[in-house]
Structure 1
Amino acid sequence: MARTLYVPLHRLVLFCIGTAGFLTAFQPPKTSFQKAFTRINKEVSDNSRAYETLSDVSQKVGHRLTGSPNGTRAEAYVFDLLTSYGFRDIRYEPFEVEAWMRDTVTLAVVPNRSDNFRDVPVVALAHSPVDAHVQGEIVDVGNGLEGDFAALKDKLKGKVALVNIGLAAPTKGARNLHRSEKTALAIQHGASGVIMVNLVPGNVLLTGTASVTGKLIPIPSVCISLESGQAIRAWMQEEHGKLHALINMTNKSRKIRARNVVATLKGSKFADEKIIVGGHLDSWDLATGAIDNGIGSFAVIDIARTLKALKVKPKRTIEFVLFMGEEQGLLGSKAMVENLKKANQLDNVRCMVNLDMTNDPTGLNAFGRSDMVPFLNTIGEGMKDIEPTFANQMQNQAGLHSDHQPFMLEGVPVVGMNGHLAREVLDCYHANCDRINLVNADQLKNTVRYSSMLLYALADSDDIPTRRQTDTQTRDYLVTQGLRTPLQIANEWRWKE
């Protein structure tokens, strides 16, 4: 799923949220995990299979779009892979989803009362209508933030909004919005269509969902390249703003069944308590999704391989989850949370760890909970003792738009890790260049090493200074983290004022 500042566009965060707790009572001694960390470090360094298996699935399966035959093949591939690593407690968790698939789309731009049509290369954004034929004057909404739309509130009805996906010349302190939130604002202001401008040079077309709910939106939303956006804006100045867009598209949408894949490592002491570590297996269909989110999902699989190979028996149960449907609206993680709610099991989830484009981590993220910082810092210092290249740079910022979100909105603690990707890699986000050649094998191995250590420490700690928040605590936490507004835009804010 596309990311904004709430989870930065490149989605470099493995998330961790804590609830209130009494840290000093629970803080583990730094030395308590050193023996296990040493074994993990050696096992991953010597035997990691993350890069090899990601390369293999990229060749044998290709893209992993939820609802497509490729998506089904990817689900079976990872099930068989986890079985080959010795897991017997492994299952599919099926869920029903409205699967969207692109068909045809064209965009033409023409001055008012002219026949000087110019065709513009374009790609449809997901959950656009199955059939749409729109003609309207183009209104440039710039970065598409709330204030940008508010300034043009009387000029957008029936028009086509031209909006940057990212922030061009961003204002200090400004937070970007997800493309789905910008589309939602355009709909609220009566726009008849949306043209998103990618800000990556090189005629790169980006895909992804334009829906905050994972359901069809009422107007077409499309993406054009940076160069096309610049050309349209220059033409608008020549024509004094009087350009019209003609968007014609057809898409497919139907109910299908997709499957999360879950492997379980049973706890030895607190078996009813769970640490869930997940990453979304699905990808968009313009390339193979090696970065988004091959590096996250195949790191999860290799963490599972590592702990199984070492025959470790942590105190808490660990569930390794490969989510489907993330790109189409966090559908697999939402389904899992709903199942846990129905089974009255959410209180047993002590922490949710999410790897989404997490690469070569440099530190942990307390995700807005200052009471978790010393606890995580102690674990990080223990990791650094084993591997000095781990910087243990603590962060403490919450975010949205990945598979941790449904857990977070139900008050489940989430624990985190921060990494980095090169600019040229990030430029291929959701684009047709997201392929295995972008993946750095050594950095992927580092993701597995450090994440395995963190996961083991969470699962084997005598206690964790966090429990599931109450509904009121969850609301207050989200407000404190500045997430109420984006959640309201996305119709995800369930609390009444």
Structure 2
Amino acid sequence: MRKKVYVYLLLSGGIYLLSAHTLRKSDVRIDGEPSRPSLEKVFSKINQEVLENSRAYETLTEATQKIGHRLTGSTNGSRAEEYTYNLLKQYGYSDTQYAPFEVESWMRDTVTLAVVPNKSDNFRDVEVVSLAHSPVEAHVQGEIVDVGNGLEGDFAAVKDKLKGKVALVNIGLSAPTKGARNLHRSEKTALAIQHGASGVIMVNLVPGNVLLTGTASVTGKLIPIPSVCISSESGQEIRKWMQAEKNLHALIDMANVSKKIRARNVIATLKGTKYPEEKIIIGGHLDSWDLATGAIDNGIGSFSVLDIARTFKALKIKPKRTIEFVMFMGEEQGLLGSRSLVEDLKKTGQLDNVRYILNLDMTNDPNGLNAFGRSEMMPFLTEIGETIKLVEPAFQNTISNQAGLHSDHQPFMMEGVPVVGMSGHLERNVLDCYHANCDNMKLVNKDQMKNTVRYSAMLLYALANADEIPTRRMDDAKTREFLIAQGLRTPLQIANEWRWKE
């Protein structure tokens, strides 16, 4: 007969009962029978495999060279889907599938921006890029109204001046104040629309004449007014000119393409041995914008997920829970691939089976874990982080607990599914190329990408193989309370995604 071994600890006046498995940091035997491998031992194997054999950097390099950008709906986007499908098959995932969905594919064509004083022919052409989901055709002329950082209070300050005018708005915060939370460019565009603006000019605050793209739509559908981006230097020139000319006008002419196409998420499944019906999803968005090759956004995330999948097969890992490795498409155009997957899970009644989602979006060189507002997970994640530190002391195990929006975890989180994140960092010069024409392989650090793979793989294994996970999907009422507590109600209301009646 097998006996259980317990250890009693007297701490702060209380007695705590710990199982041998909880204490174990290396293999132990109970009554002569070998236990399953400890977390530390498996983490060590993952660590060694990734350090010696990682292909994340190499496959990303190959993809950027052979494919280029990965815009959803484009020929390049389709080639990226096929590339990752074939790679997962090559790694040994016989159960790799395309999950198609229909998407309104937006592609830029032409755009011009001219600035001129009212009733003058002193036109100045300004270098400009269209923001995604701007109209198929737009010809706008209107007085420029400076809305500063474009926060709710900034728009409220000019609410009587903006109707029919063109809003000039910073993408970032030019003078950040303590406690101020920036809004996404789509949320700022939504506020401009609500206040009756006829167009939006977004000012990128990154120096060096860097132009930024990205969606200006909170829904992934076409917006009714043009939204464009200009450089920091152009923004400074316009604002300086506005001080001399009190009635400066903008002329925006643009043409774009929008049509329905079919895109595909790519999903590889590693079946669980003990709880096969329970799923841990790890994903990253494969798609990118078309100004560059999207090496950082989100090559480093999605190709890290691919290498984690390779690592699990190389080590012949057989997790207790089913793991799904997902390459999401359409993230940049409104989280379209992840929304589609969530809807499919709801229709088939499988959403309750998703115990966790780990989303790697521009995740790089992690130094800790993020519980995403699930306080009950803090001890569990802290212990995982401490075990990672035993294997790699450089890992800082900084634990945070803050939920956020605007990536493929969001549709899951909005349905109460637990989310976990890796807390990493990127250098300033790398962040300056976000959504810009300088996002290429020169920005990618091979060793830091390996860190993303090995630490994320360790967390994934711990979640998939835990005897118990201390949290589950929340019901609708608790999800609402959670989002409010995380300070997300206002941005979701701005985005018209707050489904609860107040």
Regions of 4+ moved over 3 Å = 24-30
Deviations 1:91-113 (A, max 9, x none): 00000000000000000000111
Which amino acid is 1:490 matched to? A
Question: Which residue matches 2:57?
Answer: 51
Q: Give how far 1:416 is off.
A: 1.6
2:184 equivalent to 1:178:
yes
Counterpart-to-counterpart distance in 2, 1:213 and 1:251: 18
- What secondary structure does 1:294 align onto? helix
Question: Which residue matches 1:193?
Answer: 199
Q: Give how far 1:327 is off.
A: 0.0
Are the equivalent residues in 2 in contact too, given 1:64–1:285 (CA < 8 A)? Answer: yes
Question: Which residue matches 2:107?
Answer: 101
Deviations 1:42-97 (A, max 9, x none): 00000000000000000000000000000000000000111111110100000000
Question: Which residue matches 1:369?
Answer: 374
2:68 equivalent to 1:62:
yes
Aligned residues: 473
Q: Which residue of 485, 489, 494 maps to 1:484?
A: 489
Question: Which residue matches 2:35?
Answer: none
Question: Which residue matches 1:113?
Answer: 119
Counterpart-to-counterpart distance in 2, 1:270 and 1:28: 20
Q: How does 1:63-212 map to 2 (within 5 A)?
A: 63-212=69-218
Q: How does 1:26-45 map to 2 (within 5 A)?
A: 29=23, 31=25, 32-45=38-51
Are the equivalent residues in 1 in contact too, given 2:200–2:225 (CA < 8 A)? Answer: yes
Counterpart-to-counterpart distance in 1, 2:397 and 2:23: 16
- What secondary structure does 2:189 align onto? helix
Are the equivalent residues in 2 in contact too, given 1:30–1:381 (CA < 8 A)? Answer: no
Question: Which residue matches 2:9?
Answer: none
Which amino acid is 1:155 matched to? K
Question: Which residue matches 1:344?
Answer: 349
Are the equivalent residues in 2 in contact too, given 1:274–1:348 (CA < 8 A)? Answer: yes
Question: Which residue matches 1:301?
Answer: 306
- What secondary structure does 1:359 align onto? coil
Which amino acid is 1:100 matched to? W
Are the equivalent residues in 1 in contact too, given 2:374–2:418 (CA < 8 A)? Answer: no
Q: Which residue of 313, 320, 334 maps to 1:329?
A: 334
Question: Which residue matches 2:257?
Answer: 252
Deviations 1:126-161 (A, max 9, x none): 000000000000000000000000111110000000
Q: Give how far 1:345 is off.
A: 0.3
Question: Which residue matches 2:284?
Answer: 279
- What secondary structure does 1:325 align onto? coil
Q: CA RMSD in A?
A: 1.1
Are the equivalent residues in 2 in contact too, given 1:28–1:461 (CA < 8 A)? Answer: no
Question: Which residue matches 1:388?
Answer: 393
Question: Which residue matches 1:221?
Answer: 227
Q: Give how far 1:415 is off.
A: 1.4
Q: Which residue of 435, 439, 445 maps to 1:440?
A: 445
Are the equivalent residues in 2 in contact too, given 1:30–1:379 (CA < 8 A)? Answer: no
Q: Give how far 1:170 is off.
A: 1.3
- What secondary structure does 2:65 align onto? helix
Which amino acid is 2:112 matched to? T
- What secondary structure does 2:250 align onto? strand
Higher RCO (CA < 8 A, seq sep 6+):
1
Which amino acid is 2:272 matched to? G
Question: Which residue matches 1:264?
Answer: 269
2:452 equivalent to 1:452:
no
TM-score (norm 1): 0.94
| Runs (5+) with no aligned partner, structure 1 | 1-23
Q: Give how far 1:35 is off.
A: 1.1
Q: Give how far 1:460 is off.
A: 0.2
| Runs (5+) with no aligned partner, structure 2 | 1-16, 26-37
- What secondary structure does 1:41 align onto? helix
Shift in CA distance, 61/154, structure 1 to aligned 2, threshold 3 Å: same
Shift in CA distance, 185/28, structure 1 to aligned 2, threshold 3 Å: farther
Counterpart-to-counterpart distance in 2, 1:154 and 1:29: 65
Which amino acid is 1:99 matched to? S
Shift in CA distance, 398/75, structure 1 to aligned 2, threshold 3 Å: same
Counterpart-to-counterpart distance in 2, 1:85 and 1:45: 17
Are the equivalent residues in 2 in contact too, given 1:30–1:378 (CA < 8 A)? Answer: no
Deviations 1:318-348 (A, max 9, x none): 0000000000000000000000000000000
Counterpart-to-counterpart distance in 1, 2:428 and 2:259: 36
- What secondary structure does 1:339 align onto? helix
- What secondary structure does 2:113 align onto? strand
Shift in CA distance, 205/88, structure 1 to aligned 2, threshold 3 Å: same
Counterpart-to-counterpart distance in 2, 1:418 and 1:398: 12
Which amino acid is 1:462 matched to? D
Shift in CA distance, 25/68, structure 1 to aligned 2, threshold 3 Å: farther
Question: Which residue matches 2:8?
Answer: none
Which amino acid is 2:150 matched to? G
Counterpart-to-counterpart distance in 2, 1:92 and 1:354: 19
Which amino acid is 1:440 matched to? N
Are the equivalent residues in 1 in contact too, given 2:150–2:170 (CA < 8 A)? Answer: yes
Which amino acid is 2:63 matched to? V
Q: Give how far 1:25 is off.
A: 9.7
TM-score (norm 2): 0.93
Counterpart-to-counterpart distance in 2, 1:487 and 1:80: 37
Counterpart-to-counterpart distance in 1, 2:51 and 2:160: 60
- What secondary structure does 2:399 align onto? coil
Look at both structures and tell me which one has the larger radius of gyration over its CA atoms: 2
Q: Give how far 1:29 is off.
A: 4.7
2:295 equivalent to 1:290:
yes
